[in-house]
Amino acid sequence: MPETILIYKSQPILKAFREQAPRVKLLIRSQNCYLTRNQILNGDIDAAIHYDVGGYNPTIVAKKLTDFGQALVASPALAVEERDFVTRDQRKALSLISNDKNCISQEVFDRYLKERHIYVENVIELWSIEAIKRSVISNLGVAFLPCFAAEEELRDGRLIELPTALKEKNISAICAHHKNKWMSPAIKLFLDLVDENIFTP
């Protein structure tokens, strides 16, 4: 499960699961979505919620949960001349802060920068969404995040959204499990709770 979903979206599901199955040991891994997909394909994990990175075969049930918007966020203290991520052919003297260079959000934004020939001076990898947000608030760089992960900070003005020319900003969350693999009552309960507590963008 991606850290953003684990922290900001999965709490009602986990709370309901704990209430209905208090003695079941639930192991949740926060990791890269490509790794999660591969573990589902290999049968290493029973079920997963993650961002859709494609690549599933017909033996996997992959149910779309919802789409989430994404935004390029920065500190209000960022210099005005560094806020332009629309004009082509730029070299920007700032850092792009990410939690994983191979995550789907980062890949989307990296492609966008490459297509528009926008080059950033540095990339900082921090394996924590909260650390990323605090770093951006401190004006150490910009970050491309799911909107829900920065909703509070955008609302209270600690972060601002920078305009981009991205045509598709949405990212899809899915729930995946093996079609032909025996499903324990605990896994069935978990999947039912996912359906009942469907995410909202």
> Can you give the residue ranges of every domain in the chain?
3-67+171-196, 70-162
CATH of domain 70-162: 3.40.190.10
Q: What is the pTM of this model?
A: 0.90
CATH superfamily to which 3-67+171-196 belongs: Periplasmic binding protein-like II (3.40.190.10)
How do the pLDDT tens digits run along the chain, 201 residues long? 889 998 888 889 999 999 999 999 888 888 899 999 999 999 898 899 999 999 899 999 999 999 999 999 999 999 999 999 999 999 999 999 998 888 888 999 999 999 999 999 999 999 899 999 999 999 999 999 999 999 999 999 999 999 999 988 899 999 999 888 888 899 899 989 988 876 665
Give the burial class of 78: count Cβ atoms within 10 A of its Cβ; 0-12 exposed, 13-18 middle, 19 or more buried.
middle
Geometric angle at alpha carbon 133, from 127 and 134, rounded to 5°: 100
